Amino acid sequence: MADGPDRAECVASVLESVTLLGQTIAAGPRVPFRGRDLTRTQMQALFTLAHDRQRVTPGRLATVLGVTAGAVTQLIDGLRGQGLVDTEPNPDDARSRVIRLTADAAGEVEQFERAAVERLLPRFASVSDDELIALARTLSRITE
C-alpha cells in the first residue's frame, strides 16, 4: 500500500461503510420476538447468545456488551421474564451460570436474520461471489 492510501485511511473507510450498513440494518423492521419492543442492548445480547462460539456466562456477556455485571443481571432477568433466555449451572464453574436462548427465541433470531439478509441482498448485487467470500472472511477475522 506504499503508493495508495495509508492503512489508517483504509480503516476509516471500512468503519464508515460498516457504520452505514449497520444503520441500514437498524432501520429495518424491528419486529422479532413477537413484536416485543426490545432495547438495542437486549437485541445485542440475544444475537450474542445466538452466535458466540463459547459458553456465554454473565461475565462474558458483560465483556461483549461493554456493560457492568449488574447491568447484565438486570438484562438477563428481563429477558428471562419474557421467556427469551434460560440459565443453567456452568459445567466448568459451579459458581457461574450459562445463559442460553430458549428454543422459541433461537428460532425467532434465525427468522429475523433471514429476513434481514433478504432485505440487504440487493445492496450486494455489484459484488462478485469471490469478493463477497473475501469480505465475509476478512470481517470474520477482524471481529473474532
Q: Tens digit of pLDDT for each residue in 86-134?
A: 999 999 888 899 999 999 999 988 988 888 899 899 999 999 999 999 9
* Alpha-carbon distances of 1 from 4, 7, 8, 18, rounded to whole Å: 5, 8, 11, 21
Q: Is the dihedral of CA 77, 50, 125, 115 positive or negative?
A: negative
Q: Specify the pLDDT at position 22.
A: 83
- CATH class of the domain comprising 31-143: mainly alpha
Q: What is the pLDDT of residue 39?
A: 85
pTM of the model: 0.76
pLDDT band (50, 70, 90) for residue 31: low
Q: What is the pLDDT of residues 59-90, one digit of tens each?
A: 999 999 999 989 999 999 999 999 999 999 99
